[in-house]
DNA sequence: CGAAATCTTACGAATTCCTTACGTGCCGGG
DNA sequence: CCCGGCACGTAAGGAATTCGTAAGATTTCG
C-alpha cells in the first residue's frame, strides 16, 4: 500500500540517500539516474515525482513541461539554484514544490508526505457520478448496477473525464491523456469514441458536450 | 479566481506586502494582524491560510495544531527559522508548505497558486456576483438559479470580467485575454458579444459599460 | 448640436460536432 | 492457415451552432 515515488536524480550519493529515506518512510521509490523524455507510456504509474532540475543533457524544466501535458501527478522539484525567477518558473510550469539544495532528507520526506496526504485527483479508485460507477483498478464500469463492457480507449477516455467530474475538459487535453499521438488518431477520433461510449452508457447524458471546448462528465440527469 | 486567503502575520510591512501581492494576483486576502485561537466558528471560510509561525503571544505552531483538528484547509507556513527540525515539525503538524524568511513575494504567490490549483475539498471555482453565478470549472452560468446557455466566447468574456468583479477592464485587455488575434475578430467584435451576453443574462446590468474604457462586472442591482 | 463611442440586428460563412460506413490490423479458434 | 470477430482510425455527409462583419440606430460627451 506504499505510495510510489519516482525519483529523477543523477547524483549518485544524493539519489541513494533520497531513495533510502523514502523507503524507510514507507514509500516505494523508483530511481532514474538520468533524465529521459517523458510520454504517456514511459511515465510509470506513480503517485509523485521528485525531479532534479539540474540534469546533464536534458533540461529538467523540459521534462516538467512534457509531463504536464498528459499528467497531473504531483511534482517536487529539486534544484541547486536559489533564485526566485527559477522557482517561479518551475511553479508556473506546474511543479507543486521546490526545494533548494542542500537540504536535509528529513525535510524532503516531510514535503513528500505533505503532498501525498492531499487527494491526488486521478487516484480515487472509484468514482460515482449519478448512476454511473467507474472502478479504475478493476477497469469496470456500470450504470444503475448494470455492467457495461467498454473497450480500452472507451474506458481510458471515461476515466480521464472522471478525473474531474463535472468539469469541462478540452479535447486537446483529453487527447493528450488518452491517445498516443504516434499510433493513435487525432482529436477527431475522440468524437467517434464518445459516440460509441454514449451508445453503450445508454440514456442519460453522462458525457456532455461543451461546445467549443470539449466534454464534461455529468450525472446523467436531464439535459 | 477570487479564492480567499487568510493571512496571519503580525509584521505590518510584510503583511501589507503579502496582501497586496495576493490581491494583484486575483485572490481575496483577509489579514489578521495577530494570532488568535482558532475554532470551527472563528475560522472564516477561506481556501488557504498563510500563517506566520513567529507571532508574539500565541505560538504559530499551536494555531496550526488547533486548526488541523477541525479543518483540512491548506496551510502555507512562514518562518524566520531555517532549521530542519522546525520545518519537519510544521509539516508533520499538517502544514502544506514552509517558506523561510526572507523570501520574495513572487515566490509566495506562486506557492499559493500551486496549492490552490489542486482541488481542495469542498467548493469549486465559483464566482457569485449578485444574482449571477459563474462556475468556471463546469463552464456554467446561472442567473437567479436559472441556467443560461452561453457560447464559448460569451463565457470566456464573462469569466474574464469575473476575475475582478466591479473593476473596469479595458477593451484591449479583454480582447487580448479572450480573442485569438489570428482567428477571431477585433475589438469591435466584443461589442457584439456583450450585446448578446446582456440579452441572455436578462434583466439587471451585469455587464456595465465604462465609457471610454471598456466594461465592468456589476451585481445587476443599480441602474 | 455634432462627433465619437457604443449598441443592436441581420445574415452568411466558418467552425464544430455527430453519426454512419468502411478498411485495416490483431487475435483466437477451428 | 484461414476465418470471423473485435477494436480502432479515417473519411464523409450533414446538421447545428457560433462568430465576424457591415450597417444603421442610439447614446454619451463636450
User: Protein footprint on strand D: which nucleotides are under 7 Å from a CB?
Assistant: 6-12, 17-22, 28-29
Residues on chain B touching A87 (C-beta within 8 angstroms): 107, 110
Cβ atoms of B9 and B50 closer than 8 Å: yes
- List of chain B residues with pLDDT < 50: 1, 120-124, 223
Query: Å from B63 to nearest chain A CA?
Result: 18
**pLDDT at residue A164 is higher than 50:** yes
List of E strands, B66-192: 75-79, 97-100, 126-129, 132-135, 140-143, 146-148, 168-170
Put simply, the answer to whether A216 touches B138 (Cβ < 8 Å) is: yes
B116 interaction partners in chain A (CB closer than 8 Å): none
Among all protein residues, pick the one whose CA is nearest to the C1' atom of D27. Answer: B211
Rounded to the nearest angstrom, the minimum Cα separation between B195 and chain A is 20
Residue whose grid cell is 479543518? B71
Which pLDDT score is estimated for A21?
Answer: 94
Which residue, among A107, A120, A173, A223, would best test binding to B if mutated, counting the most B CBs under 10 Å from its CB? A107
pLDDT in tens, B45-71: 788 999 999 876 667 888 898 888 777
Cis peptide leading into residue A23 (ω within 30°): no
- State the average pLDDT over residues A88-116: 93
Q: Which pLDDT does position A92 carry in this prediction?
A: 92
Residues of B in contact with A212 (CB under 8 A): 151-153
Strand order in the sheet with B132-135: B126-129, B132-135, B140-143, B146-148
pLDDT at position B121: 39
CA–CA gap between residue B157 and residue B167 (Å, rounded): 14
Q: Distance between CA B40 and CA B180 in Å, rounded?
A: 46
Q: What is the pLDDT of residues B158-192, one digit of tens each?
A: 998 887 788 888 888 888 888 876 666 788 889 99
Give me the residue from A88, A111, A121 closest to B110, CB to CB.
A88
Confidence band for A119, pLDDT divided at 50, 70 and 90: low
Q: Tell me the chain A residues in contact with residue B91 when contact means C-beta distances shorter than 8 Å.
A: 107, 110-111, 113-114
Domains of chain B by start residue, with CATH: 4-116 (3.40.50.2300), 126-217 (1.10.10.10)
Query: Measured in angstroms, what separates residue B212's CA from nucleotide C5's C1'?
Result: 7
CB contact at 8 A, B152 and A209: no
Residue with cell 540534469: A55
Amino acid at each position: 500500500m506504499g505510495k510510489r515515488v519516482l525519483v529523477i536524480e543523477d547524483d549518485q550519493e544524493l539519489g541513494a540517500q533520497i531513495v533510502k529515506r523514502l523507503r524507510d518512510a514507507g514509500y516505494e521509490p523508483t530511481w532514474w539516474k538520468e533524465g529521459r523524455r517523458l510520454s504517456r507510456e514511459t511515465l510509470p504509474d506513480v503517485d509523485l515525482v521528485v525531479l532534479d532540475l539540474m540534469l546533464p543533457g536534458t533540461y529538467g524544466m523540459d521534462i516538467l513541461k512534457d509531463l504536464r501535458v498528459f499528467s497531473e501527478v504531483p511534482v517536487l522539484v529539486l534544484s541547486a539554484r536559489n533564485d526566485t525567477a527559477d522557482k517561479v518558473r518551475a511553479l508556473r510550469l506546474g511543479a507543486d514544490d521546490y526545494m533548494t539544495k542542500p537540504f536535509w532528507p528529513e525535510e524532503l520526506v516531510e514535503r513528500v508526505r505533505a503532498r501525498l496526504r492531499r487527494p491526488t485527483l486521478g487516484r480515487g479508485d472509484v468514482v460515482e457520478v449519478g448512476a454511473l460507477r467507474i472502478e479504475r483498478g478493476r477497469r469496470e464500469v456500470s450504470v444503475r448496477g448494470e455492467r457495461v463492457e467498454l473497450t480500452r480507449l472507451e474506458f481510458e477516455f471515461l476515466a480521464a473525464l472522471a478525473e474531474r467530474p463535472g468539469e469541462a475538459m478540452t479535447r486537446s487535453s483529453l487527447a493528450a491523456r488518452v491517445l498516443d499521438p504516434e499510433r493513435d488518431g487525432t482529436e477527431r477520433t475522440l468524437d467517434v469514441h464518445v459516440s460509441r461510449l454514449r451508445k453503450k452508457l445508454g440514456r442519460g447524458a453522462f458525457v456532455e458536450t461543451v461546445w467549443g471546448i470539449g466534454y464534461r462528465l455529468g450525472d446523467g440527469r436531464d439535459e
